[in-house]
């Protein structure tokens, strides 16, 4: 019987804090790539998520709120948007457990930022006020599946292996980005204004983060499903190793 990897999706709290939920685009993209998506709820005051990590074969850190700047030693700029320390603690705890167990990790938008902060890196709290000459990265009244700006992908990287191209166009919906890289991370793609658009681990593990939203693109632009397929394949290998251990 063919095994399918179980993929955990992080969730966010609604404004009323009554729902711990996630966009269906993540669910559909994981399912289309051959994984079995499950959502991991935010449980307040819970710092040990080992039980959830033991259930899954890979974890996807989804988009959403700004990460509180005190996690990387800074005070907030006035341009900071919504933040949630509840979600920050929840995801940092999940990341630590997944990283320790070498579970494949994929981060999207906020997810790439969470990965970087969790490994000791920092963020630009607002690229428009902190990066001179920054181009557009958060268009309004633009469909989430519209190609928006180009990125340059470094050769001899996991991301290049996935796409097989040095330059592609992506969508874009963010005002923060990776600043100083965290431990054992390397930037693998940049927009034309120098903003980090992807990173991956320098170690022998699947740890990949992208700043754009590929889950919104997989139906209209199937090339972006390649990201999810690579993640699912790594999660399947992890599952097989766990079963045979």
Residue 245, C-beta contacts closer than 8 angstroms, at least 6 positions apart = none
100 among known catalytic residues: no
Burial class (CB within 10 angstroms; exposed 0-12, middle 13-18, buried 19+) of 63: buried
Q: Using CA atoms, how far apart are residues 86 and 56, in angstroms rounded to an integer?
A: 22
Q: Which of 122, 129, 136 is nearest to 193 (CA)?
A: 136
235 within 8 A of 58, measured Cβ to Cβ: yes
Q: Which two three-digit tokens encode residue 106?
A: 């994929």
- In Å, how far are 1, 94, 131 from 148, measured between CA atoms? 42, 32, 19
197 among known catalytic residues: no
Looking up tokens 């019987």, which residue turns up? 1
Per DSSP, 83 falls in state B
216 among known catalytic residues: no
Neighbours of 202 (CB within 10 A): 12
Q: Which two three-digit tokens encode residue 233?
A: 């394949």
Please tell me which residue in 137, 149, 174, 213 is annotated as part of the active site: 213
What residues form DSSP beta bridges with 106?
60, 208
Please tell me which residue in 200, 215, 216, 238 is annotated as part of the active site: 215
Please tell me which residue in 91, 109, 137, 149 is annotated as part of the active site: 109
Catalytic residues: 109, 213, 215
């Amino acid at each position: 019987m063919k095994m399918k990897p179980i993929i955990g999706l992080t969730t966010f709290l609604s404004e009323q804090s009554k729902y711990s939920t996630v966009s269906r685009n993540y669910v559909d993209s994981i399912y289309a790539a051959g994984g079995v998506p499950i959502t991991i709820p935010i449980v307040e005051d819970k710092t040990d998520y080992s039980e959830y990590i033991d259930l899954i074969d890979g974890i996807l850190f989804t988009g959403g709120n700004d990460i509180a700047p005190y996690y990387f030693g800074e005070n907030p700029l006035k341009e900071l948007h919504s933040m949630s320390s509840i979600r920050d603690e929840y995801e940092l705890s999940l990341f630590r457990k997944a990283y320790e167990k070498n579970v494949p990790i994929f981060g999207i938008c906020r997810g790439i930022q969470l990965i970087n902060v969790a490994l000791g890196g920092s963020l630009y709290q607002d690229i428009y006020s902190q990066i001179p000459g920054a181009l557009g990265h958060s268009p309004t009244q633009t469909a989430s599946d519209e190609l928006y700006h180009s990125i340059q992908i470094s050769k001899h990287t996991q991301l290049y292996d996935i796409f097989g191209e040095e330059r592609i166009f992506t969508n874009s919906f963010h005002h923060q980005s990776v600043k100083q890289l965290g431990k054992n991370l390397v930037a693998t793609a940049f927009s034309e204004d120098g903003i980090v658009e992807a990173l991956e681990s320098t170690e022998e593990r699947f740890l990949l983060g992208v700043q754009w939203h590929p889950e919104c693109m997989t139906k209209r632009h199937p090339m972006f499903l390649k990201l999810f397929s690579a993640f699912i394949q790594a999660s399947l290998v992890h599952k097989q190793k766990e079963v045979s251990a």
